[in-house]
Amino acid sequence: MKKTHILKFYISIFLLSFGSLVFAQKTDSLKIKKPYSLRLGVDMSKPIISIFDNNLSGLEITGDFRLANRYYIASEIGHTSKITSEDFLNFTTKGSYIKIGANYNAYNNWLDMRNEIFVGIRYGFSTFSQTVNSYTINQNGVYFDEYFVQNPIKYDNLTAHWAEFVLGIKVETFKNLFLGASVSFNSLIKTDDPDNFQNLFIPGFNKRYLNNSGAGFNYTVSYQIPLYKKVK
């Protein structure tokens, strides 16, 4: 009788251990490892536009890093040179800029997908120069000829600060290779306007409208460098 009870006891322990092992394996199989990576890219829109517009040249490098499941630190850094012709004014803007902020991915990926539909915010800062190449003095009436001045005036060490709201997408086309596009809506916080001249174009901010707003877009190709993974 005692041997029978002992045998039943060991059988129960074996079944309990086996069941626990199977349950643990099933639980582990449901765990998904999410990659946390540094993604670097380049904005292709500026080189493409410069092919058709000799007055614009520039380069922008983009980067982001995953902080949490849906949150990313994001940044852009670039350089722009642009010649702008207005009705009575022709000027050249040259300078560099940096934008830093965060993105939130609103897209719910399946399993190991890494696509994004994101919203983001940025703080932008630019340092640049303006060169007034030529201008025409606008005089009232028709009795005097227009006075055209072609004597370049350069303003150095100008700065600008702005806030930016971003909407965009990123799609993984091949492993770790992403294509992306985004639009931005900018609000100028502060800039150094030279005497008798307003900064009508600012690198990184783009064209400045009457209400100190701006807009921009980019088309990026980026590569993701895997660093580590977290289990979700």
CATH number at residue 175: 2.40.160.20
pLDDT (0 to 100) of residue 147? 60
What gap in Å lies between CA 91 and CA 89, rounded to an integer? Answer: 7
Provide mean pLDDT across the span 176-188. Answer: 97
Domain coverage including residue 195: 33-231
Q: Are residues 101 and 212 in the same domain?
A: yes
Do 223 and 152 share a domain, yes or no? yes
- Could you read off the pLDDT of 118-167 as tens digits, one per residue? 999 999 999 999 999 987 776 665 555 566 667 889 999 999 999 999 99
Whether residue 22 is found in the same domain as residue 71: no
Cross-strand pairs, 118: 105, 168
pLDDT, position 31:
62
Number of domains in the chain: 2
Is the domain of 71 the same as that of 100? yes
Same domain, 4 and 66: no
Q: Are residues 23 and 37 in the same domain?
A: no
End-to-end CA distance of the chain: 50
Q: Are residue 38 and residue 25 in the same domain, yes or no?
A: no
Higher pLDDT, 101 or 25: 101
Task: Tell whether 11 and 103 lie within a shared domain.
Answer: no
| Co-location of 149 and 185 in the same domain | yes
Please give the model's pTM, rounded to 2 decimal places.
Answer: 0.80
Evaluated on CA atoms 152, 153, 155, 161, the torsion sign reads negative
Write the CA distances from 189 to 126, 157, 159, 209, 215, integer angstroms. 12, 17, 11, 13, 14
pLDDT digits (tens, 9 = 90+) for 49-91: 999 999 999 999 999 999 988 999 999 999 999 999 988 889 9
Distance CA 41, CA 43 (A): 7
Q: Based on the domain organization, do 1 and 116 belong to the same domain?
A: no
Q: Are residues 25 and 73 in the same domain?
A: no
Asked whether residue 132 falls in the same domain as residue 95, the answer is: yes
